[in-house]
Amino acid sequence: MVKIDAQGNKQWDKRFGSRDLDVLKSAVASPDGGYLLVGYTNTPLVAPDQTSPNEDRTQPILGGSDVWLVKIDAQGNKQWDKRLGGFGAEEVYDVVNAPNGDFILACLPSENGGNLIHGGDVTGTGFSTYDYWIVRIDAQGNKIWDETYGGSGQDIVRALLATPDGGVLAVGGSQSPVSGNKGTHTEGKGCWLLKLDAQGNKQWEQVYGSVLPLTAEYIYTMINNPRGGYLLGGGLSQSIAPDFPYDFWFVDIDADGKVRGEQTFGGDKNDGINNIIPGSGGAMWLVGGSNSDISRHKTANSRGGHDIWVVKLGSTVLGTKESTDLGASISLFPNPVNHGIVTIEAKNLGEQLSIKTEVMNSLGQRVQLLYLPVRQSSIKHQLDVSALAQGMYTVLLYTSVGIITKQLVKN
C-alpha cells in the first residue's frame, strides 16, 4: 500500500502479507481517516491459531483461500485484520462504506456442482457454480449478515455502490435465466444489477446487454451520476467468440436502474472500462485498458499488450439527440404506418458492427429491442410493428456518434 500526495510524492508505504499468496483487490477510506484493505489469502498459518513473525494475518484460513480484511490508520499502521471465508475458495472484488460506518463487500463464494460449500462465514443458498455473495460487516470487521444471489448459470458480482438508505447496489456479470432468486432473464453473457436494503433483502433488479445469446457484456465499475441516477462502465462485444474484441461500454441509468443512454468506444482489439471519474463542467473520464492500435476511436497505437487508455467525454455525450445534431440521417417509412412493416434507413452512423435499436412507447417502456448489422456506416432494415397498439412511439438507435431518435405513429 502506497500513499502519495496530490503531486504524486510518496508519503509512506506499507506491506501486509503472509508466507505465500496474498492479493489486494480493493480499498476504501474509513470514517476515522484510515482505510480498509480487502483481498484474499491462501496461506495456512504455521500451526493452528498461531502466527509467524513474518505474518500479518492473525487467523487461519478455513479452505483453499479466504477473504482477508486489513484495517489501517491514517499512517498505514495495522489496527486489526479479519478472515472471511468457508471451507472452499472465496474471493472479494469490491468494498464500500455504508452510511452508518459499516462496510459492505462484494465476494465470490466457493461452490461444488451448484451446491454452496457451507461453513465458517458462508451461509445461504447456492444456485450454481458462481453466485453473488454480499457480506456486511461492522466497523470492527464483525460479520452482520451475508447473502447469496443468483440463478442456474454463472453470476459474479464486480462492483458495489452504497445508497443513502443504508442499502447497496450490486452489479456484475450474469448468464442465468429466471431461476434461483434471479427474477429477470439474461441472454448470452449479460449484466445484472441488484438493489438491496440494509438487511440484504432484494428490492429490485435490472439486466443489461443484448437480447441475443451470442453477445457478451460486463460491468466493472459504478458511480453516482452528478445529474441523478448512476453511471456504469465495462466492456461490450458483439460476439462471445474468444477472438472477438470488446469496446468501452458506458451506460447511464436512472434511480430505478432503467437505461437512459449508453455509448461504446473502441478500436480494432480489446478495450474495457475499469473506472469512471467525474470531471468539471459535467465531463467524465473513462479509464481502462486497451490493446487496440489506431482505429475507430483510438488515436494511438498500443505499446505492447494492454495499455492504459483514457477517454474524456463532454457533458452531453449520453444525451438523446436528433439525427441532425449528429450529422446522421434516419428515416422511417411508411410513417404513419397502418399495417405491420416499417423500413428503417439510417446513414453516417460511424464505425461499428451493429447498432442497438429500441422502440419505446409513450410511457417510456421498451416494447422492442434488436441489434441491426451495419454496412458502410449505414443500415436498412424492416421492422415488424404489427403487434404494437395504435399510438406514438420513439425509435432509438444507439450509435458510435450518439443516440439518434425518430418518432413513429402507428394507426
Written in H, E and C, the secondary structure of the chain is: CEEECCCCCEEEECCCCCCCCEEEEEEEECCCCCEEEEEEECCCCCCCCCCCCCCCCCCCCCCCEEEEEEEECCCCCEEEEEEECCCCECEEEEEEECCCCCEEEEEECCEECCEECCECCECCCCCCCCCEEEEEECCCCCEEEEEEECCCCCEEEEEEEECCCCCEEEEEEECCCCECCECCCCCCEEEEEEEECCCCCEEEEEEECCCCCCCEEEEEEEEECCCCCEEEEEEEECCCCCCCCCEEEEEEECCCCCEEEEEEECCCCCEEEEEEEECHHHCEEEEEEECCCCECCECCCCCCCCEEEEEEECCCCCCEEEHHHHCCEEEEECCCECCCEEEEEEECCCCCCEEEEEEECCCCCEEEEEEEECECCEEEEEEECCCCCCEEEEEEEEECCEEEEEEEEEC
Sign of the C-alpha dihedral computed for residues 128, 154, 259 and 280 taken in this order: positive
pTM: 0.74
Q: Give strand pairing partners of 108.
A: 91
pLDDT-wise least confident of 59-63, 193-197, 339-343? 59-63
Task: Among 14-18, 47-51, 213-217, name the most confident range.
Answer: 14-18
pLDDT band at 194 (very low <50, low <70, confident <90, very high): very high
Q: What is the mean pLDDT of the chain?
A: 83
Task: Count other C-beta atoms under 10 Å from residue 118's C-beta.
Answer: 16
pLDDT band at 400 (very low <50, low <70, confident <90, very high): low
pLDDT in tens, 373-389: 777 778 888 888 888 88
Residue 316's pLDDT is what? 56
In CATH, 2-313 is 2.40.50 = no
Task: Count other C-beta atoms under 10 Å from residue 192's C-beta.
Answer: 27
The region that residue 8 occupies, defined by phi over 0 for left and psi between -120 and 50 for alpha, beta otherwise, is left
Q: Which of 67, 1, 66, 76 minimizes the C-alpha distance to 33? A: 76
Task: Please give the average per-residue pLDDT across 37-59, as a whole number.
Answer: 70
What the block records as the C-alpha cell of 229 is: 441516477
Higher-pLDDT residue of 319 and 359 is: 359
Amino acid at 359: V
Report yes or no: 254 and 228 within 8 Å, Cβ to Cβ.
yes
pLDDT at 231 over 90: yes
Cα distance between residue 16 and residue 70, in whole Å? 8
pLDDT in tens, 257-281: 988 878 888 888 889 999 999 887 7
Q: Give strand pairing partners of 272.
A: 289
Identical fold between 2-313 and 320-410: no
What the block records as the C-alpha cell of 382 is: 424492416
Residue-range domain boundaries for the chain: 2-313, 320-410
pLDDT at 215 over 80: no
Assign domain 320-410 to its CATH superfamily.
Macroglobulin (MG2) domain (2.60.40.1930)
